[in-house]
Structure 1
Amino acid sequence: MNPLPEDSPPLIGEDDRDSAVQRLQEAYTEGLVSHEELDERLDQVLTAKAHSELVSALASLPEEHPGTTSTIAAAGGRIQRRGAWRVPRILKVESAYGRVRLDLSRAIIEHPVVDIELQLGTGGAKITVPRDAVVDVEGLHTEWKDLRYKTPRRTGPGGPKIRISGAMGFGRLEIRHARR
């Protein structure tokens, strides 16, 4: 196998492609592009090999909705979300001295990929994800205690991808899949 030339553009990840498809579908739903234009741009996104091709397919679209990123912050105390709450595309959770409890098992998840960025000082975090979710913790840095996460034997198809990144100081992150 030949190595890639040094000046070759980086390959497109599936998450980038999925994000671009979703942006185009939203633009169509909002009436910003015609059906014909949607078809052309989707074809461009699905056959793109370089990141610049994705960018040109999304050119002239407005920026993503401002509501796609939310920040929950507290200096101390508890941060808790549970029940039927709407999960944004990007959720930033910042806490200096508190515990964090996020239960996504009954949450409304409208995005195929959800990024949760943790910036926690002391205090642990517990995240319950849907039963069929795929969890990615590659971007998480823990200082003091290791992560507790047991990958399920099997997950159902079509579940959301939950990417957890950021930094944990002196607390432990525990991730579990919902039982139902």
Structure 2
Amino acid sequence: MTDDAAPGLPDLRASDADRERVAEVLRDALAEGRLDMTEFEERLEETYKARTYGELAPITRDLPVAGVTPPPVVSLHKEPVEEGSWAGRIVGGEGSSAWAVAVLSGFQRRGRWTAPRRFNCFAFWGGGEIDLREANFAAGEIEINCVAIMGGVQITVPPGVEVVVRGIGVMGGFDQRETGVPGDPGAPRVVVGGFAFWGGVGIERKKTRAARRQEKLDRKAAKRELRSSSRDDEGETHRRILEDHKDLLHGHGLGRGQGAGSGPRDERRERRYED
């Protein structure tokens, strides 16, 4: 990010995806020798502490790639990701991030990002999170290669994605629970491989927060409708009971042509007087 990355919007809140883009620039700079380890760690810490574009901009100002970072597209309305529209999420290209390293630390890839055809990650006494629920895909099949040594990597995929696990574990392992679950037509295929030693790679199928929130709202609306319908049914039942009760009283009373005080006792009393 640079001063030009968010013109006129220095106080706009940055997203997790914005921080990850800056972190990726720092990792590339470390690999190219533009930053030493101390500078990299200091800037990475500043990146994850940053809350606005104005705080992110100075972190990569002196790096050559900072000048070509495209400005963010700002929308006041967050559009939910439709899990079923897979054709729009397989976008091609190289992907926004191709590798990640966690040594006594952690890494995250989540939010709106493009998963490449092959993503390599390494965790040593650290952990990583790869969340594909809101991600786009560079191809219909992508591979995630994980090496976890006394560390772990957690992979989260959206419903409908096919998962194939080919990793090897020694005193560790790869989660196999999602293997064999068929994917939706046109959905991408995620192949998870690599090696785990005293570590593990977990795979979880989970809906996005927006989807879960919408389901919760739908359930509440259905319950309200059910309660309203139940109250209407109870009211109708009570009305029918009252009408039946009135008919019953009418049948035992005025319906037989008897007065309010007439009855069997009055008839016996009249016969006694006549005798």
Identify the TM-score tier after normalising by the shorter chain. 0.5 to 0.7
Find 1:165's aligned residue among 188, 193, 199: 193
- For the 8 Å contact 2:119–2:145, the answer to whether it is kept is yes
Which runs of structure 2 are paired with 1:46-57 in the superposition (5 Å)? none
Match for residue 165 of structure 2?
Answer: 137
Query: Which residue of 2 is the match for residue 84 of structure 1?
Result: 112
How many Å apart are 1:126 and its aligned residue?
1.0
Aligned position for 1:71:
99
The alpha-carbon deviation at position 146 of structure 1 amounts to 3.3
Structure 2 residue 184 is matched with structure 1 residue 156 = yes
Pick 1 or 2: higher relative contact order, CA cutoff 8 A, min separation 6: 1
The structure whose Rg is larger is 2
In 2, are the aligned partners of 1:113 and 1:162 still within 8 Å (CA)?
Answer: yes
- Cα shift readout 1:66-115 (whole Å, capped 9, x = no counterpart): 76982212322111111111111110001222111111011111310101
**Does structure 1 conserve the Cα–Cα contact (< 8 Å) formed by 2:110 and 2:134?**
yes
TM-score (norm: length of structure 2): 0.38
Q: Which amino acid aligns with 2:128?
A: V
How much does 1:142 deviate? 0.8
**What are the ranges of 5 or more consecutive residues in structure 2 without an aligned counterpart?**
1-92, 212-275
Indicate conservation of the 8 Å contact 2:168/2:174, yes or no.
Answer: no
Query: How far, CA to CA, are the matches of 2:95 and 2:173 in structure 1?
Result: 32
Consecutive unaligned residues in structure 1, runs of 5 or more: 1-64
SS in 1 for 2:122: strand
Which of 117, 121, 127 aligns to 1:99? It is 127
1:68 touches 1:90 (CA, 8 Å); kept in 2?
no
Counting only pairs closer than 5 Å after superposition, residues 115-126 of structure 1 correspond to structure 2 as 115-126=143-154
Partner amino acid for 2:192? I
Write the letter of the residue equivalent to 2:152.
G
Task: Specify the SS of the correspondent of 2:173.
Answer: coil
Q: TM-score, normalised by structure 1?
A: 0.57
Give the structure with the higher percent strand.
1
Residue deviations 1:108-147 (CA, integer Å, cap 9, x gap): 1131010111112111221001211111112x11111333
- Greater share of helix: 2
In 2, Cα distance between equivalents of 1:78 and 1:99: 5
8 Å CA contact 1:132, 1:158 repeated in 2 = no
RMSD of aligned alpha carbons: 2.4
Range with bigger deviation, 151-160 or 94-103: 151-160
Alpha carbons 1:141, 1:167 under 8 Å: kept: yes
**Distance in 2, Cα, partners of 1:67 & 1:126:** 20
